[in-house]
Amino acid sequence: MSRLRIFNDTAPDAPLLDSRDGEVIAAELKKIGVTFERWQAKHPVSPGASQEEVFTAYREDIDRLVAAHGFKSVDVASIAPDNPNRAEIRKKFLDEHYHKEDEVRFFVAGSGLFTLHVDDKVYEIECVKDDLIAVPDGVTHWFDMGEEPSFAAIRFFTEPDGWVGHFTGTDIAQRFPRYEPSAV
């Protein structure tokens, strides 16, 4: 189940808000320019489905986003708990960084934790199957897929080099808990 927790950036043990309500999550994130939506597949998508099968299941929503934002490419990224490179892949996203284009992800399966640092607040968003998150360019954040990552996500890009991470050099990401998928 999706979850949003908001903290002061100096108090990682004291959430100011903790919600699993999709409407509350979308409303709170909208205040900082982040889009959060829930999508439903037009037909079931099985584990191991091809990229084209995934695209077909979500075609209307994909086309709507591409038309509205001018995305030039869309793909599916997937990682399983038995991936021998999972620790190295995970490490690439654990430090605070930003991108020069929006980071837009739709979770087809599994889950991951986006943590955004905006002004003096930290927004921790657990995204699960059927969640779309769109983080505006320039918003500092980090992403944790957990020690045993398991997710497939549709990714949207405007420019081939736009998704390069620009790291801030701060240690804030180390002060907040790492991702442990919810049992709920």
Write out pLDDT tens, residues 140-157. 999 999 999 999 999 999
**Rounded Cα distance, 27 and 146, in Å:** 26
More confident residue, 4 or 50: 4
CA distances from 151 to 77, 78, 81, 142, 181 (A): 8, 6, 9, 17, 11
Write out pLDDT tens, residues 90-144. 999 999 999 999 999 999 999 999 999 999 999 999 999 999 999 999 999 999 9
Query: Buried b / exposed e across 117-137, counting CB within 10 Å, b at 16+?
Result: bbeeebbbbbbbbbbbbbbbe
pLDDT of residue 184 exceeding 90: no
Which structure tokens are listed for 97? Answer: 């960084």
Write out pLDDT tens, residues 86-102. 999 999 999 999 999 99
Q: So what's the pLDDT on residue 182?
A: 74
Q: Under a CB-based contact definition with an 8 Å cutoff, are residues 93 and 114 in contact?
A: no
Q: So what's the pLDDT on residue 45?
A: 80
**Rounded Cα distance, 87 and 61, in Å:** 32
How many residues in the chain?
Answer: 184
Neighbours of 176 (CB within 10 A): 20
Chain mean pLDDT for the chain: 93
The closest of 103, 74, 116, 117 to 163, measured between CA atoms, is: 103
- Angle CA 167–22–90, to nearest 5: 30
**Rounded Cα distance, 95 and 51, in Å:** 29
**Rounded Cα distance, 138 and 86, in Å:** 26
Q: So what's the pLDDT on residue 69?
A: 92
